[in-house]
Each structure stands twice: as structure tokens, then as C-alpha cells.
């Protein structure tokens, strides 16, 4: 198979979906691997390192899309790429389909086979770990006076108290964030809606962090007392009200910080997306850091970890075929977003009102013994396509 590694073009994105290590394995399997020139350069992988392991270097994304059966990148498909998608072509990337209706429309119109990478991770995405850890550092930096913050040092100074950090969400992102700010000496409170999750976090950190159930009452009480808030919650796209309202932001001390790692519109009322070039803004006296691709700032580490995590999916699809790969791995199956003009992603159907069909139905594997996987989100849709 011809496998293409695209250069990501999102603003401030320096990661690459496959390093020379993964390319060498795909070439060793007998595949022809095309890599767009410069794809790995900003992550520390120059073109010659790909050439040494057998990759064919090509100049443009147009060549990759036109010549490869399977193409992959890190971030969403940009509008300039919509017209390059081809029927039956496999596309693997972080699509975030429920939040991007135009992108979904382009996938469906092209009749390609699209897999949304963020839903395919059995043990949590390395991107999530990277976002949590790097987001933790961004929050502490944002507290500095030179960025409009209140000027507190993470573990304090003699006679001056350190930072009180609130981490909302105890999943892969939240735990990674806690690990950094706690290790650096901040006082940490973790909120989640799952008591079992909070118990596990308490044990993980030897009961040296505070835990609370996340609800409006508790948030309103704690926000005026904390220095930095890290939002690590995957907010439902169809939520009717924010988790943190503008009034709650206003209740925080001037110079406090909000780092919206999850970057979901509707969760924090004062949120708007920012970039690495201009990462912060101040609203209601609170510094907001809302970069959508935080892991791009540590491109080499994230690329190495992320590429290793998705390589098994690449090899399984190529060697076993998509249907068999989805039989063997339920997390890959739930990540199938579109298949030859059919929407196969339940959350997108629920949010956008588009009819969908279950991946196992369109792939003809309903009667097979399928590897189980939990639903990627709580959003449900019975708006089914009738074949």
C-alpha cells in the first residue's frame, strides 16, 4: 500500500504523525511510504532521516493526496484540503467531527474512509498526556506578572505562600496536569463528577491533593480562592449552559489564570480559542490561556509518543483490512467517522442532526465476535440511515 505522511498546516502545529521509526517499520512491512518534505522538521526529524529509512520524499500535499491510498496527519483537515480527498482513500487524523460540520460534509462528499484519531486510543492519547503536562506549565507561566498574572511562584518563597491550583476533570489530561503542578509544590484541588475517579487520584498522589465533586455550588465556592484553573473536561457539544459562567470568572481574584486545555466552546463562558503566537487574553481581570494545540509546543516528545501509539492501527488496517482491524479493536471501530459517503460517528449525528450508520453495520461485521469498547461520548442518536 502507498502510505502518505502529510505535513501539518494548522497554525502553530509542529508535530508529525509518523517519525522515521514508524516509517521504517511500514517500509519493512512492504509498503511504499511517501513523506511530504518538511513534515517532521520542526519536531526534530529532518527529511534525510526519513530518506535513510526508505521513504519517498515529495514536495506537496497535493501529491500525497493524489498518490496515496492511506494518508495521515495530526490535526484537522483544513478547507484547502477538502477538494483533495478521494473516494475510497483512508484518512487518519484528529477530526473532532462533532464540532466541525463543514469538515464532515467534505468527508461525506468525497466518499473517503475517515478515522478520527482522538477516539481510537485504548489507554488514553499521548496527546492528552502532553496537553495536561504542557498546559500545567503554561498556567504557571501565565501567573507571572509580565503576562498580567498575579505574580505568584508555584511553591512559594520564604514567608510567601505558593499557588493553589484547581484541576477540573480527572481523566488522562487532568491527571497529567496534576502530576506536574503537584510535583512542583503547588497546593492542588481536583474536581470530577466521579467519586471513584477522585478516590483513585487520592491514592495516586498519596492523599496529598484535595478532591471535590464537581458541581455548580462547589465551583462557585472555590473559584474566588484559587490562583489557576485548569479545565480538563471534555464538554458535551449539546450542553445548554456553561460549566463556568462569566459571573463565576468575575468572582476570581484579578490576575488569576484559566487554562482551557480541553478547548471546548460552551464550557467556559469567557473562552475563545487562541494560538501559540498570541496565547493569552485578559477578560474580567482573569488571564485566559486557550491554545487549541498545546502539545504542538513540545513537538518532538509528543510526536515520538503519539506516532508509536497509532502505528499498531496503521499496520492492522494495512495488513488485515479495515473491517478485520475493526473486529479486532473496538477503539478503532468507534473512531470510524465516515465510510464511502456514510456517516458512522454517533456523536456527530447527535450534535449535527445528520443520519448515521453503525460502523459494524456498514462494514458487515455485526455477526462477528467484536472486541468491545465503551462509547467515546455520552451523546446518543437513533437517527439511523436505512440501507
DSSP 266-310: TTBTT---B-SSS-EEEETTEEEE-BTTGGGGGHHHHHHHHHHHH
Give yes or no for a contact between 81 and 65, defined as CB atoms under 8 angstroms apart: yes
Sign of CA dihedral 203, 191, 302, 236: positive
What amino acid positions are annotated as catalytic residues?
A: 96, 264
Q: What are phi and psi for residue 189, nearest 5 degrees?
A: -120, 130
Q: Give bridge partners of residue 115 from the DSSP assignment.
A: 92, 336
Rounded to the nearest 5 degrees, what angle is found at the Cα of 334, between the Cα atoms of 330 and 338?
A: 135
Q: Give the span between the Cα atoms of 80 and 257, in whole angstroms.
A: 35
Strands across the sheet containing 70-72 = 56-58, 32-36, 2-5, 70-72, 90-93, 113-116, 336-339, 342-343
Which positions ≥6 away from 311 have C-beta within 8 Å? 18, 22, 25, 26
- Judged on CB neighbours under 10 Å (0-12, 13-18, 19+), 373 is middle
Give yes or no for a contact between 166 and 191, defined as CB atoms under 8 angstroms apart: yes
Per DSSP, helices labelled H in 170-215 are 172-183, 195-204
Give yes or no for a contact between 178 and 197, defined as CB atoms under 8 angstroms apart: no
Sign of CA dihedral 311, 377, 128, 9: positive
Q: Give the span between the Cα atoms of 65 and 85, in whole angstroms.
A: 7
DSSP state of 374: -
Strands across the sheet containing 164-168 = 210-213, 187-192, 164-168, 228-231, 257-260, 286-289, 280-283
- Alpha-carbon Rg for the chain, nearest whole angstrom, is 22
Amino acid at each position: 500500500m502507498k502510505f502518505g505522511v502529510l505535513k501539518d498546516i494548522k497554525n502553530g502545529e509542529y508535530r508529525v504523525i509518523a517519525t522515521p521509526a514508524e516509517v521504517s517499520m511500514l517500509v519493512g512491512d512492504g509498503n511504499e511510504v511517501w513523506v511530504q518534505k518538511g513534515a517532521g522538521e520542526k519536531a526534530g526529524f529532518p527529511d534525510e532521516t526519513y530518506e535513510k529509512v526508505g521513504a519517498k520524499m515529495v514536495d506537496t500535499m497535493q501529491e500525497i493526496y493524489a498518490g496515496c491510498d492511506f494518508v495521515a496527519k495530526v490535526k484537522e483537515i483544513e478547507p484547502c484540503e477538502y477538494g483533495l480527498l478521494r473516494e475510497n482513500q483512508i484518512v487518519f487524523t484528529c477530526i473532532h467531527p462533532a464540532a466541525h460540520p463543514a469538515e464532515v460534509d467534505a468527508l461525506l462528499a468525497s466518499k473517503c474512509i475517515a478515522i478520527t484519531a482522538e477516539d481510537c486510543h485504548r489507554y488514553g492519547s499521548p496527546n492528552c498526556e502532553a496537553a495536561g503536562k504542557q498546559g500545567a506549565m503554561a498556567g504557571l507561566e501565565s501567573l507571572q506578572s509580565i503576562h498580567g498574572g498575579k505574580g505568584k511562584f508555584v511553591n512559594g518563597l520564604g514567608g510567601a505562600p505558593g499557588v493553589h491550583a484547581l484541576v477540573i476533570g480527572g481523566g488522562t489530561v487532568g491527571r497529567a496536569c496534576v502530576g506536574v503542578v503537584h510535583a512542583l509544590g503547588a497546593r492542588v484541588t481536583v474536581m470530577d463528577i466521579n467519586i471513584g475517579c477522585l478516590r483513585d487520584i487520592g491514592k495516586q498522589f498519596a492523599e496529598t491533593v484535595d478532591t471535590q465533586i464537581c458541581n455548580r455550588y462547589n465551583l462557585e465556592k472555590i473559584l474566588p480562592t484559587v490562583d489557576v484553573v485548569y479545565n480538563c473536561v471534555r464538554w458535551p457539544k449539546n450542553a445548554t449552559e456553561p460549566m463556568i459562567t462569566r459571573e463565576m470568572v468575575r468572582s476570581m481574584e484579578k490576575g488569576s489564570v484559566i487554562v482551557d486545555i480541553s478547548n471546548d466552546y460552551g464550557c467556559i463562558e469567557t473562552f475563545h480559542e487562541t494560538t501559540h503566537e498570541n496565547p493569552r487574553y485578559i477578560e474580567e481581570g482573569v488571564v485566559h490561556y486557550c491554545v487549541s494545540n498545546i502539545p504542538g509546543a513540545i513537538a518532538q516528545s509528543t510526536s515520538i509518543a503519539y506516532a508509536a501509539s497509532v502505528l499498531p492501527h496503521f499496520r492492522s488496517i494495512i495488513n488485515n483490512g479495515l473491517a478485520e482491524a475493526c473486529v479486532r479493536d473496538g477503539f478503532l471501530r468507534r473512531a470510524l467517522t465516515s465510510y464511502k459517503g456514510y456517516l458512522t460517528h454517533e456523536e456527530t449525528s447527535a450534535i449535527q442532526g445528520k443520519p448515521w450508520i453503525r460502523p459494524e453495520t456498514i462494514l458487515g461485521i455485526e455477526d462477528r465476535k467484536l472486541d468491545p469498547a465503551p462509547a467515546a461520548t455520552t451523546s446518543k442518536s437513533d437517527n439511523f440511515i436505512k440501507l
